């Protein structure tokens, strides 16, 4: 997949963990666990999204681009996305874990009072979701993400 054409995904309800990881990695990953199969197909088609699923019946639907994920584990799913779609894990703008909006840089001085004091003292870079106004920073959780991707050779 070339850098110019970033894929957008619709992740079925059983793959919430994968949706979260794709958002952390900066990919547009819509996830609404309450949608039925017909609704998923309609939404994926209408929004030009690739439907990610482990459901073989859903994967047989026509008129929508679907990737049937073979592995039930996150690591295998990430490997398959890299192999089948050419996804890369290079640095890109992360997305809100709650609402999937791209995060915007938040100047450090504006983060004061929005994050715990310890976090403010020990971190320099902050991000803000323009939709839900949740504030993010790259703490130990981000180090865990990077370590995990390296261990998977991704």
**pLDDT given at position 153:** 67
CA distances from 97 to 21, 27, 115 (A): 9, 11, 17
pLDDT band at 1 (very low <50, low <70, confident <90, very high): very low
pLDDT tens sequence across 16-54: 999 999 998 999 999 989 999 999 999 999 999 999 999
CB-based contacts of 144, cutoff 8 Å, min separation 6: none
pTM summary value: 0.86
| Domain extent listing, the chain | 8-85, 104-151
């Amino acid at each position: 997949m070339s850098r110019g054409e970033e894929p957008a995904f619709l992740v079925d309800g059983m793959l919430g963990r994968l949706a979260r990881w794709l958002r952390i990695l900066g990919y547009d990953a819509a996830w609404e666990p309450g949608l039925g199969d017909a609704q998923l197909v309609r939404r994926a088609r209408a929004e030009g999204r690739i439907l990610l699923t482990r459901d073989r019946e859903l994967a047989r639907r026509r008129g929508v681009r679907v990737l049937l994920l073979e592995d039930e584990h996150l690591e295998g799913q990430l490997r398959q996305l890299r192999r089948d779609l050419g996804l890369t894990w290079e640095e890109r703008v992360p997305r809100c874990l709650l609402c999937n909006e791209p995060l915007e840089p938040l100047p450090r001085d504006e983060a004061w009072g929005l994050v715990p004091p310890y976090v403010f003292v020990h971190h320099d870079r902050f991000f803000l979701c323009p939709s839900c106004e949740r504030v993010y920073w790259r703490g130990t959780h981000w180090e865990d993400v990077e370590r995990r991707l390296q261990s998977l050779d991704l």
